[in-house]
Structure 1
Amino acid sequence: MSALGRVLAALLLALLVAGAADARAWSWLGVRIRDLSEQEMDELASRHGIIEGFGVVIVEVIEDTPAARAGMRAGDIVVAFEGRPVTETRLLQRLIAQAPVDRDIRLTVLRTAGRKALPVRLVNMPRRMVGEQIAAAFGFVLRETETVSERPSASAPTVTFVVRGTAAERAGLEVGDVILQVNDLAVLTRDAAREALSEVPTDRPLHLTVRRDDRHVALTLAAPDNPPKP
């Protein structure tokens, strides 16, 4: 798998954990994260003590989000959530998604200078993120292509990754497909597609119409075998 494929697969994993079926009311921090490598774990254990040989790396802090307002930085290593050890991305995703939005929660991060406790007030997950999670639950990622030559519409949403063994792959969805309809609702942009996907339940089939080369193809994606849950 290419480096891009690995990144997208990791993103899908993170999205799947958050519970797409119930994500409409879930909390959101506003970061991209990854697990520590074994080498990083060893370095942390050596530098901070064996108990610190775990955590989740903040890869990116999205602007104007709870994480940004709390002063979180790319490179921070989250080691605790409200005092509970954070050992992997799945756990942090789950804890954040289930946390209340009406009070501060405490995240403990490791930096070069040592541990730092950051109070963070979460917000409800934006609808665009909900749509991305629904897509992830079915096994695909969307993007807007960059050039008019790539697609018939200058802003049409395009499938950029399909996860093996998912409903999307089994239905025949392919990288490069341009999504035209979501459950019979026409979509012209990625944002429109994400908005439509945000209303899709993951316990029912998803019907897509896509443009592939010069053809229109109708696809039915079965409800995910294991829809994400809290």
Structure 2
Amino acid sequence: MTLGKVPLLLAVSTLWYITTTPPNPPPSHEETTKYPHGDPLSTRILVVVKNIHRLHLLVFTCEIMVIFTSHFGTSVFSESTLTILVRTPSNNEKHILSTTPIFLLGFFLCLFGGYMRWFSFRALGRQFTFEVTIRDQHQLITRGPYSFVRHPGYTSRTVVTIGMFLCSFGSGSWLFECGWLELLAVKIIAGIMIAFQGWIIYTLLSRVSVEDKMLQKEFGSKWDEWAKNVPYRLIPGII
């Protein structure tokens, strides 16, 4: 078990929080109803999504607690913490929760995706909301990540989600190494979390064509020129 993993876990937690936290308040009712779209991720659903996201942060918090108590804990509290968080006694060895290749892959995916997500937030400014909308005084942004693909926010969200799951459930993780994934109940919860995030990604990616149509209708020839210069929606050179 290595202390060097702690800052990486803190970084992944921070990147996940940034990725899943709206950078701006929700748009007004008038703004969201300007172009009716029937998106299932309404503001009410987003509240549920936010609470689900906190479960992922809880997983990383537990792993950090196990690492710290294993290295520095000598009190009864530390022993109790390990008893609660480490299901398999043999997994108290200090080399278990290590920075495996799977974890490092997940970390770098979160790092890349998280930076791109933040860059997208900055490029769009107040126009970046988690709801599909055309805001008042909306402008067509073609700079920054939007000069490479038309929907970098969705690409980055997908990349961070994949990275987060590798860090949470892959070899070297708290759930994997401390025996929790051996429990049927935990497997079911993990499956639900993965399925739920998969549904979110699917829903977000289904917005791409909807938003393209909205922007084309709003900006006309300006959007046509941008789409000609930036033909790829999500991944440069591929799609």
Q: Which structure carries more relative contact order (alpha carbon 8 Å, separation 6+)?
A: 2
Instruction: Please report the TM-score for the alignment, with normalisation by the length of structure 1.
Output: 0.26
Instruction: Please report the TM-score for the alignment, with normalisation by the length of structure 2.
Output: 0.25
Structure (1 or 2) with the larger CA radius of gyration: 2
